[in-house]
């Protein structure tokens, strides 16, 4: 019988943890732990066949008591199922067991962002179609197709704009000022607190799948972009811009610099 069980990290074997960390970025326990700073708790749902673990899914719980919510993964990031065996498995039965376990656990809300199309509809879950923009940057001579954008990137280069890999000691103070100013400009409270970004910077040192670039002008941050990399996919997750430096086109330049740096090398 195939069943799914919720586990906290202390219940996860080193073998399962290794599979999660070396598979998809969306499996990784470091990324799941990051959400502690936002009141989340990382959990792993393990699917077993006759007590033999065959698949796992990392996720984050929010809330307490009767109002616990589950996300895999939070805030626009993706659900992914991690295989725990090299043997062939019935993927439909694995997914069915996982969804059944989630549904009967008692979460008040469950959100699975199924970018990879792994889930199958059930009576307990309602699919909500979403859309995102995909750009193929794999060509070695890739350029943005928009001529005006190409011109803006060249202007940024002429003006000496450079993309720096984010380092907390050099960039965090300016980044936090930029982040708060950007959110104020949009008339909203910051979605993530300062501690979240401090932990994300630490994760970026350990896990190169966090790709964080920043443009500095003196002691000020002109723009900052955060990407999460998973195999051949790079998710453009967050972007912040200082309008006072918009004439330098740092946003446009960072997009190009990220594409250039993330493109598969020959």
Element (H, E) at 214: strand 210-217
Tokens of 15: 């073998």
Q: 2-112 is classed in which CATH architecture?
A: 3-Layer(aba) Sandwich (3.40)
Is 147-262 the same fold as 2-112? yes
CA 260 – CA 258 distance, rounded (Å): 5
pLDDT value, residue 187? 95
The pLDDT value given to residue 102: 96
pLDDT category, 88, cuts 50, 70, 90?
A: confident
* Residue 245 scores a pLDDT above 90: yes
pLDDT for residue 92 is more than 70? yes
Kindly give the residue spans of alpha helices, DSSP state H, lying in the chain: 14-22, 29-33, 91-105, 147-158, 168-185, 194-206, 250-262
Per-residue pLDDT band for 58 (boundaries 50, 70, 90) equals very high
pLDDT band at 266 (very low <50, low <70, confident <90, very high): low
- Sheet arrangement for strand 164-165: 164-165, 210-217, 220-230, 233-241
For residue 3, give every residue at least 6 positions away whose Cβ sits within 8 Å of its Cβ, in sequence order, or none: 47, 48, 97, 101
256: confidence class by pLDDT, cuts 50, 70, 90: very high
Q: Which of 33-42, 150-159, 204-213, 254-263 has the lowest mean pLDDT?
A: 254-263
For residue 206, pLDDT beyond 90: yes
Of the CA atoms within 13 Å of residue 30, those in its CB half-sphere come to 20
Cα–Cα separations (whole angstroms), residue 257 to 51, 52, 153, 224 = 47, 45, 9, 12
- 133-176, pLDDT tens digit by residue? 999 998 888 889 899 999 999 999 999 999 999 999 999 999 99
Question: How far apart are the C-alpha atoms of 45 and 57, rounded to whole Å?
Answer: 5
Peptide bond into 73 cis (omega under 30): yes
User: Measured between alpha carbons, how far is 235 from 37 in angstroms, rounded to an integer?
Assistant: 21
* % of the chain exceeding 70 in pLDDT: 99
Mean pLDDT of 19-47: 96
Predicted local distance difference test score (pLDDT) of residue 93:
93
Measured in degrees and rounded to the nearest 5, phi and psi for residue 140 equal -60, -25
Q: Is the pLDDT of residue 226 over 70?
A: yes
Q: How confident is the model at residue 265, as a pLDDT? A: 59
Domain spans in the chain, listed from the N-terminal domain onward: 2-112, 147-262
User: What pLDDT band is residue 235 in, cutting at 50, 70 and 90?
Assistant: very high
Over 70: is that where the pLDDT of 264 sits? no
Low-confidence winner among 9-13, 71-75, 115-119, 185-189 (lowest mean pLDDT): 115-119
Least confident piece of the model among 62-76, 112-126, 203-217: 112-126
Considering the domain 147-262 in this protein, what is its CATH number? 3.40.630.30
């Amino acid at each position: 019988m195939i069943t799914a069980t919720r586990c906290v990290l202390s219940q996860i074997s080193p073998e399962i943890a290794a599979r999660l960390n070396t598979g998809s970025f969306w499996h990784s326990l470091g990324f799941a732990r990051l959400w502690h700073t936002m009141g989340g708790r990382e959990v792993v749902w393990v699917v077993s066949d006759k007590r033999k673990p065959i698949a796992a899914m990392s996720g984050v719980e929010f809330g307490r008591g009767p109002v616990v919510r589950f996300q895999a993964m939070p805030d626009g990031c993706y659900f992914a199922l991690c295989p725990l065996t090299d043997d062939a498995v019935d993927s439909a039965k694995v997914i069915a067991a996982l969804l059944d376990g989630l549904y009967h656990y008692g979460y008040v809300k469950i959100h699975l962002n199924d970018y990879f199309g792994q889930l199958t509809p059930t009576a307990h879950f309602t699919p909500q179609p979403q859309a995102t923009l995909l750009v193929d940057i794999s060509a070695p001579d890739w350029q943005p197709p928009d001529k005006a954008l190409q011109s803006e990137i060249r202007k940024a280069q002429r003006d000496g704009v450079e993309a720096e890999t984010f380092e907390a000691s050099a960039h965090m103070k300016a980044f936090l000022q930029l982040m708060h100013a950007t959110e104020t400009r949009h008339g909203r409270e910051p979605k993530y607190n300062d501690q979240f970004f401090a932990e994300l910077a630490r994760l970026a040192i350990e896990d190169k799948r966090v790709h964080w670039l920043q443009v500095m002008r003196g002691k000020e941050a002109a723009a900052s972009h955060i990407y999460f990399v998973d195999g051949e996919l790079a998710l453009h997750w967050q972007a912040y811009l200082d309008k006072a430096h918009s004439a330098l086109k740092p946003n446009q330049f960072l997009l190009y610099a990220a594409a250039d740096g993330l493109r598969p090398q020959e």
